[in-house]
């Protein structure tokens, strides 16, 4: 049962990250493998603000802003110039991989290789339904719920969200309808980047201790959750995150926890064999 | 037309136009004009550049030479979102709706440039014109039949009350009865109301029936033009389109 609790928290963190990741992919058409490095850089910004005596939950705003601005800058000055040259999409993916390595090891060069932690504890513990959860974990689940409801509301009920979905579905047609898709794409980088920064910070908070390379393999879970739900499908991302979060943590109770990322990929491969476009995706998405 | 869906038209013209991809012209030396209150059609064999021509008029494909004007305004290589803003509604042949969005959301995106308080009134006006859409407002556009989908595609551009309608093979993949209704009732109706309609149509006979003027494209150039009555008496046109003869070729320079 405790592994189910861990799975729930992992799923909550992963859901925040994956929703941003898949939104970014769907609207901007960039598979941004540097997402994990922006997460951990954002977490370190939160950490340093927290170190200066600011409450960690307030310092989190710094992490969110870092994720948003770094993602926007990355798109504006790196990805967009490459996309304008009409290169094969894989080129931008490779570029993003390079950015990921530079982001992670550049951070390590600056902050060193040691583990750090926020100056806050996990808070009171609560028992219910056989689960033992700390205040921090409950807050993470709460943040996840707010993010998921917020993203749903954004995409379903706002003019911006509908324009984002239209741009994702058919960019040329959106432009023919008067949508300034370049503005929509820039805004998407800001929003998905903010989710990336938020996810990085709650990931680090939940881990307790972290260092510059802590999120280096997180992209594996992100890809698994995104493709499981259906690439570019925000609701699929939420579902994929739940499955991957639970399966990796529950499996860790029975096998060596070092192999839990492998479980994520086994789940992904099984899914791709039977439904290559994911649970929520359509053949066209694929 | 019971509801004012489109505006009185403006002249859409292209002069000496060349357009294509990666700097390579697919169409060239094009001089065409579509005027208010008329249906102007473009016919031609597959690969003659009809769709490329339309796309270049609305900013989707790059104009390499010549100019495009709407009324007095030059719109050569203007971004598609600006072309939509000045009143040119374009319905592509394929990918003409947003499949994951509902019918209502498709119409809302069609009215993206409208003020928030104008959108619902416009949707009501479009639904009065295409009443079949009323019962499927929450259905995803990707789940519609061919005819329903084309109605939605037309409804989407009508949300901005366009002065000029640019339609790329609107009857493609439609049942003959639906195609006839679309051409003779709706598309002809827009022109009769005073709008400008420029239409690419594969079904030459059907196009001629509703057109006031027709251009024939072959090999990326206009090889024939005239009123439908004149074309129907032209042996080259008859052989190529009405009698099933050889495809038209561009004249040698």
Q: Which domain holds residue B216?
A: 12-242
**Which positions in chain B touch A162 (Cβ < 8 Å)?**
101, 105, 108-109
Q: What one-character DSSP code corresponds to residue B187?
A: I
Domain assignment present for B161: yes
* Alpha-carbon span A25 to A185, nearest angstrom: 10
A286 CA to chain B: closest CA distance, Å?
14
Strand B12-21 to strand B24-34: parallel, antiparallel, or no bridges (unpaired)? antiparallel
- Tell if the CB–CB gap between B81 and A282 is shorter than 8 Å: no
Q: How buried is residue B92: exposed, middle or buried, by Cβ count under 10 Å (0-12/13-18/19+)?
A: buried
Positive or negative, the CA dihedral A35, A40, A45, A50 is positive
* Alpha-carbon span B228 to B212, nearest angstrom: 7
pLDDT band at A123, cuts 50/70/90?
confident
Q: Which of residues 154-193 of B touch A (CB under 8 A)?
A: 156-157, 160
Q: Which residue in chain A is spatially nearest to B156 when comparing CA positions?
A: A177
Lowest mean pLDDT, pick from A3-12, A100-109, B223-232: A3-12
* Percent of chain B scoring above 70 in pLDDT: 92
Number of other residues whose CB lies within 10 A of the CB of residue A256: 9
Residue A157 is predicted with a pLDDT of 94
Structural domains present in chain A: 2-274 (1.10.3470)
For residue B18, the SS3 value is strand
**Which positions in chain A touch B102 (Cβ < 8 Å)?**
none
Domain assignment present for B247: no
Among A253, A208, A191, A261, CA closest to A14: A261
Confirm or reject contact between B21 and chain A (CB < 8 A). Answer: no
* CA distance to A82, A274, B99, B228, per residue, from A281 (Å): 27, 13, 12, 47
Mean pLDDT confidence for B192-200: 91
Residue B252 is predicted with a pLDDT of 45
Positive or negative, the CA dihedral A94, A219, A148, A77 is negative
pLDDT at B244 over 70: no
Dihedral pair phi/psi, residue A123, rounded to 5°: 80, -175
- Tell if the CB–CB gap between B109 and A181 is shorter than 8 Å: no
Mean pLDDT confidence for A208-212: 93
Q: Which residue in chain B is spatially nearest to A171 when comparing CA positions?
A: B98
For residue A144, the SS3 value is helix
* Alpha-carbon span B232 to A21, nearest angstrom: 58
Domain assignment present for B2: no
Residue A282 is predicted with a pLDDT of 64
Among A173, A141, A159, A151, CA closest to A236: A151
Report the residue from B81, B96, B97 with minimal CB separation from A180.
Answer: B81
* Alpha-carbon span A177 to B152, nearest angstrom: 13
* Percent of chain B scoring above 90 in pLDDT: 64
Domain assignment present for B252: no
pLDDT tens, position by position, B102-142: 999 999 999 999 999 999 999 999 999 889 999 999 999 99
* Alpha-carbon span A171 to B95, nearest angstrom: 10
pLDDT at B4 over 80: no
pLDDT band at A125, cuts 50/70/90?
confident
Domain assignment present for B193: yes
Residue A231 is predicted with a pLDDT of 81
Number of other residues whose CB lies within 10 A of the CB of residue B175: 12
Domains in chain B: how many in total? Answer: 1
pLDDT at B11 over 50: yes
* Alpha-carbon span B202 to B168, nearest angstrom: 9
Residue A243 is predicted with a pLDDT of 87
Mean pLDDT confidence for A14-42: 95
Q: Which residue in chain A is spatially nearest to B59 when comparing CA positions?
A: A176
* Alpha-carbon span A96 to A105, nearest angstrom: 14
Mean confidence (pLDDT) of chain A? 89
In this prediction the ipTM stands at 0.88
CATH number at residue B98: 3.40.50.300
* Alpha-carbon span A188 to B182, nearest angstrom: 38
H or E stretch at A224: helix A218-229
Please list, in sequence order, all residues whose beta carbon lies within 8 angstroms of the beta carbon of residue A42, skipping any fewer than 6 positions away: A63, A64, A66, A67, A70, A196, A197, A198, A200, A201
Give me the helices (H) in B97-234, please. Answer: 103-110, 116-129, 146-158, 176-181, 188-193, 204-210, 228-232
* Alpha-carbon span A73 to A85, nearest angstrom: 18
Domain assignment present for B148: yes
H or E stretch at B218: strand B213-218
Residue A134 is predicted with a pLDDT of 84
pLDDT at B243 over 50: yes
Among A242, A249, A271, CA closest to A3: A249
Domain assignment present for B5: no
Mutation target for B interface from A162, A172, A173, A277: give the one with most B CBs within 10 A: A173
Among A71, A63, A150, A151, CA closest to A103: A71
Mean pLDDT confidence for A138-142: 92
The per-residue b/e assignment along A150-165, b for 16 or more CB within 10 angstroms, e otherwise, is: ebeebbeeeeebbbbb
The per-residue b/e assignment along B51-79, b for 16 or more CB within 10 angstroms, e otherwise, is: bbbbbbbbbbbbbbebebbbbeeebbebe
- Tell if the CB–CB gap between A169 and B99 is shorter than 8 Å: yes
Mean pLDDT confidence for A155-166: 95
Domain assignment present for B198: yes
B197 CA to chain A: closest CA distance, Å?
17
């Amino acid at each position: 049962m405790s592994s189910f609790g861990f799975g729930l928290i992992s799923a909550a963190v992963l859901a925040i990250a994956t929703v941003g990741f898949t939104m970014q992919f769907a609207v901007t058409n960039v598979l941004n493998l540097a997402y994990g490095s922006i997460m951990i850089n954002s977490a370190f910004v939160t950490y340093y603000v927290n170190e200066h005596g600011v409450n960690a939950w307030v310092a989190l705003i710094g992490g969110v802003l870092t994720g948003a601005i770094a993602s926007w800058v990355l798109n504006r000055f790196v990805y967009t110039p490459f996309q304008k040259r009409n290169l094969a999409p894989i080129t931008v993916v490779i570029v993003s991989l390079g950015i990921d390595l530079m982001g992670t090891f550049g951070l390590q060069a600056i902050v060193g290789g040691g583990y750090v932690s926020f100056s806050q504890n996990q808070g009171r513990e609560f028992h219910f339904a056989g689960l033992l959860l700390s205040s921090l974990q409950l807050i993470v689940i709460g943040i996840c719920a707010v993010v998921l409801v917020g993203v749903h509301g954004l995409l379903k009920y706002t003019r911006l969200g509908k324009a984002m979905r239209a741009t994702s579905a058919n960019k040329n047609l959106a432009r023919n309808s008067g949508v300034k898709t370049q503005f929509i794409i820039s805004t998407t980088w800001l929003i998905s980047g903010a989710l990336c920064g938020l996810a990085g910070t709650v990931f680090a908070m939940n881990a307790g201790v972290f260092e510059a390379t802590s999120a280096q393999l997180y992209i594996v879970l992100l890809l698994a959750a995104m493709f499981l739900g259906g690439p570019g499908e925000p609701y699929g991302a939420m579902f994929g995150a739940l499955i991957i979060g639970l399966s990796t943590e529950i499996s860790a109770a029975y096998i060596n926890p070092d192999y839990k990322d492998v479980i994520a990929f086994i789940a992904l491969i099984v899914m791709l064999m039977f439904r290559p476009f994911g649970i929520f995706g359509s053949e066209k998405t694929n | 037309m019971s509801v004012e869906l489109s505006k009185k038209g403006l002249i859409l013209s292209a002069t000496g136009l060349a357009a294509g991809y990666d700097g390579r012209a697919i169409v060239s030396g094009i001089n065409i004009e579509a005027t208010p209150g008329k249906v102007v059609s473009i016919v031609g064999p597959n690969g003659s550049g009809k769709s490329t021509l339309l796309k270049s008029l609305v900013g989707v494909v790059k104009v390499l030479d010549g100019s495009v004007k709407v009324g007095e305004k030059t719109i050569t290589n203007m971004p598609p979102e600006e072309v939509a803003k000045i009143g040119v509604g374009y319905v592509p042949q394929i990918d003409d709706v947003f499949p994951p969005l509902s019918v209502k959301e498709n119409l809302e995106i069609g009215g993206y440039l409208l003020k928030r308080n104008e959108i619902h009134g416009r949707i009501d006006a479009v639904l009065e014109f295409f009443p079949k859409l009323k019962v499927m407002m929450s259905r995803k556009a990707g789940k519609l039949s061919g005819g329903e989908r084309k109605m939605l595609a037309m409804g989407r551009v009508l949300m901005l009350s366009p002065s000029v309608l640019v339609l790329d093979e609107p009857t493609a993949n439609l049942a003959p009865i639906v195609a006839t209704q679309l051409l003779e009732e709706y598309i002809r109706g827009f022109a009769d109301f005073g709008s400008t309609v420029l239409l690419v149509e594969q079904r030459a006979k059907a196009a001629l029936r509703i057109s006031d003027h027709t251009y024939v494209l072959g090999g990326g150039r206009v090889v024939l033009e005239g009123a439908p009555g004149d074309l129907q008496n032209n042996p080259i046109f008859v052989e190529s389109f009405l009698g099933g003869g050889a495809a038209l070729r561009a004249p040698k320079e």
